[in-house]
Chain A
Amino acid sequence: QKEVEQNSGPLSVPEGAIASLNCTYSDRGSQSFFWYRQYSGKSPELIMFIYSNGDKEDGRFTAQLNKASQYVSLLIRDSQPSDSATYLCAVKAGNTPLVFGKGTRLSVIA
């Protein structure tokens, strides 16, 4: 059974701080890694994806991937109250279906 693990949170950070969200996965054959943001009652929205080891930056978001440690993270710089949401990590290997973690709830305190 392929698993994707995330701390459920809530992770509370003050406004302006860096939020660090972590995800581990069990399938060593995983190739693609996605971060989705989901506001309560809304659909997941893709915010970042990464395929290669290292860092990938997009605006205030940085995804970090370490395949040897089977670990992927999302950093949110200058966190804003509007970043308060649940963040879903999703992992896939080849053409098998995407496997989602249960999500980490982030709360940014103004």
Chain B
Amino acid sequence: EAQVTQNPRYLITVTGKKLTVTCSQNMNHEYMSWYRQDPGLGLRQIYYSMNVEVTDKGDVPEGYKVSRKEKRNFPLILESPSPNQTSLYFCASSFFPNYSNQPQHFGDGTRLSIL
């Protein structure tokens, strides 16, 4: 089954404790992206990657890191999480190039709470 898989689905942790949210897709998509979603603010892009070893900042990259060492994986790293990073996070992927014609497929989301 074609899918984008995020782990963990839920996480409660404390300020300053490094964490990684994994994202993996099995559709051979070149493009992958991370979003956070907060009430009243909609989906905001954190980072995106157009291919292996190519990453770019989105609208809200502060406090986050990503890496794209393999085509299928795009982990999101919070080196020193803070309470303002409490949010619902989504990973998404699509084909690229011809990216403009390709919809994004979303993972099920990770609900992150930083105390």
CB-based contact B48/A43 at 8 Å: no
Name B73-96 residues within 8 Å CB distance of A. 88, 90, 96
Q: Which chain A residue shows the least CB distance to B99?
A: A95
Closest Cβ of chain B to A92, distance in Å, is 6
What 0/1 pattern do residues 27 to 38 of A give for CB contact below 8 A with B? Answer: 000011010000
Tell me whether A51 and B101 are in contact in the complex, defined as CB-CB below 8 angstroms, given that A44-B106, A97-B45, A102-B40 are known contacts. Answer: yes
Kindly state the separation between the CA atoms of A90 and B100 in the bound complex, as whole angstroms: 12
- Number of B residues with CB within 8 Å of any CB on chain A: 25
A25 sits at the interface (CB 8 A): no
Docked-complex contact B103 and A97, CB < 8 angstroms: no
Q: Check: B16 CB closer than 8 A to any chain A CB.
A: no
Other contacts beyond A46-B103, A100-B43, A102-B40: 17, CB < 8 A? A41-B111, A43-B106, A43-B107, A43-B109, A44-B43, A44-B90, A45-B106, A46-B104, A46-B105, A49-B103, A90-B104, A95-B50, A95-B97, A97-B33, A97-B45, A97-B58, A101-B42
Q: Are B96 and A95 in contact (CB under 8 A)?
A: yes
How many residues in A have their beta carbons less than 8 Å from beta carbons of B? 23
8 tightest Cβ-Cβ pairs between the two chains A and B: A102-B42, A43-B106, A100-B43, A46-B103, A32-B100, A95-B99, A44-B106, A43-B109
Output the least CB separation between A96 and chain B (Å): 9
Q: Mark interface residues in A72-97 (1 if CB within 8 Å of B CB, else 0).
A: 00000000000000001010111101
